[in-house]
Structure 1
Amino acid sequence: MTASVNEALLRSLTPKVLGILVRRGADFAAAEDAVQDALIEAIRLWPADPPRDPKGWLVTVAWRKFLDATRADAARRRREDLVDEEPAPGPAPVQDDTLQLYFLCAHPSLTPSSAVALTLRAVGGLTTRQIAQAYLVPEATMAQRISRAKRTVSGVRFEQPGDVATVLRVLYLVFNEGYSGDVDLVAESIRLTRQLAAMIDHPEVAGLLALMLLHHARRASRTAPDGSLVPLAEQDRSLWDTAAIAKGIGILQAALARDRLGEFQAQAAIAALHADAPTAEETDWVQIVEWYDELARLTDSPIVRLNRAVAVGEADGARAGLAALADLDDALPRYTAVAAYLHERDGDPTTAARLYAEAAGKASNLAERDYLTRRAARINAGRGR
């Protein structure tokens, strides 16, 4: 999108226009293609002749694109009765179907990666090229992924109720993808979650938004100038975004006051305790353990119990943390790294160095591998090896 076109406006209108076409009877996949064609026309024409009613303009052009494509496709001639009468031009309907699009894009028949890509395209208004760059894959690969996802959900009835928990998981997947290319997926996930929170009154939506804001507030301190990871205890807290922290805590407190606890609220409560501590030494680890207990009860997740073992080690000592760790499967991701840390805290550098080196070999990304390798090297250097 060129600088002379209001990109934010187009992205905000995309799901609304798509929803109108689907409600008129258009197949989701065909409607999405028509909306994308209309956006291209907007980019070409609006700089010289901006419309008075951008939404109405997009609806009219997208609907005509849809009709043209439908009539040109001989295999779809049976649908001519449905689309033969074009609605009269005029103001676009006020009804906003964006919420239904969230649920449609997070349909349980889609794989997580497909649900994320479709959400970014249909609800986020991003182009295939932008999504491909963000995921560091070829544009053709992403186009195929999105096309398959659209075909999968095309037969789903638009008015079917959706599962909020599934939508939230998809948004959290977007958030955890990080950022690259032209699109910052962290910022994009926060934007989409804000949008969802404005449409649906649900404490878990608020909990996820709070969690994102609290994590995002520490972004500037997470890596050193050379790109290496900086663990939480060593981060420069003066770099934390205090306004985002205050906003996140406020949203969380309002959600918790409704007494409908969910996993994202519990995660946000843990993040808030970290963000609220003036120094690493002043972190309220006892309360963090209590929140991990709540989170484990809600999710029964072994990863949650792994993180709880770290918190127990901080609250009650490394031996207690190792005892909590002993109850878990050592094949869990990060298990070896956690064991290394707790052994280091317990004064066993030999075991810690060996486990750090082993964990580095299992690391899922280069930054994590380099960090664990440096930890092992530092311990060995301190022992004169």
Structure 2
Amino acid sequence: MLRKEGNTYFIQNQPVSALVEQFGSPLYVYDGQKIESQINSMKEAFSAVDVKLKFACKALTNMSIVKLMLKNGVDIDAVSIEEIKLALRVGYKPSQIQYTPSGVAFSEIEEAVSLGIRLNIDSLQLLEKVGETYGNSLPVAIRLNPSIMAGGNLKISTGHADSKFGIPIEYIDQVLALVNQYDLRIVGLHQHNGSDFKDGSVIVKAMKKSIELAEKHFPNLEFIDMGSGFKVAYHEDDHITEIHELAKEVVAEFAYFQERYGKKVQLWFEPGKYLVSESGTFLMTCNVVKHNPGRNFVHVDSGLNHLIRPMMYDAFQEIVNCTPDTEETEKYDVVGYICETDTLGKDRELPKVKPGDIIAMKNAGAYCFSMSSNYNSRVRPAEVLVYNGRAHLIRERESIEDIYRHQIEVSF
């Protein structure tokens, strides 16, 4: 995480200016100790039950980050065959990976099954196809849509009635009919209600729906998976999910359920943002400071091609001038170099910025690099992991040759 000591900004013991000097700009930097701290926080909060964490790796799929999860006993939640293969490559066993596809071709399902990956089924059509193809030879989970609105932004709310995700809980009779028809082995019930939800009671409310279905219809469950969505702070006064407070109610409810159920059941979570968001800092360099009659602009050497969340989700991420010459401040819009409106931060009060200053965006560990692109034929930045005080390059900066690599030039 970015911290200030005197007049210098650091990530762990590494001055940000030294990181930029060594690895270039723009640059993604991740704090490995912060990731481990978040993992340990969740494990401690839910230690009274048999909890299993599954990293929602779509948040940050760099192999070194995924390998760090493996080192810390965190399994994988995958949403594509490519994520599955990446996890297997770094050393995960198939039994440690759960696959939750959304509307993929059945050939991808077949490939995942051939690799020994457990399926989490999110449509009636897929449930029927799996039954027709595999009968009861596979243990499977069912992703339910509980019709609960959660999430700070509609674009990241996934458990409401109009969402494409999951089988609506109102269709439980059709689910049961298919389970009985094909003698399906249902070993898990899954929900994911959104990201960044502000009210932790959403998890408890949703979990009670899974518990009710488990007690009525699914006597052989091995786990109940409640997804994630735990909120982290994006600015100083931001609301967060108080994980230890939430855990008290969740653990009590889950323990009581197990007593009634008559057997031990694992409680699964799929944290993505919670584990990696705060670990990430995106370092950029100011190219131009433009003073217009009604607005000042800081133009940086990046844009929505590298960090799309502010434009896509109206996300707020704190911006810091890491190398100011003065404490005198000015209000700026921090904008990118893309030929498109790509505002990274609007009306930000910063120490006066000059060309060459290092500008940092906090909370850049989740859904930042993983959603980057080559728009405007721009190359992607390098990624660095700072772990135990050492800076490790974990992804090389792209070059123009990477832009050319998969294109085929036709001769006319």
Per the shorter chain, which TM-score range? under 0.3
Higher helix share: 1
Q: TM-score, normalised by structure 1?
A: 0.23
Q: TM-score, normalised by structure 2?
A: 0.22
More RCO (CA 8 Å, sep 6+): 2
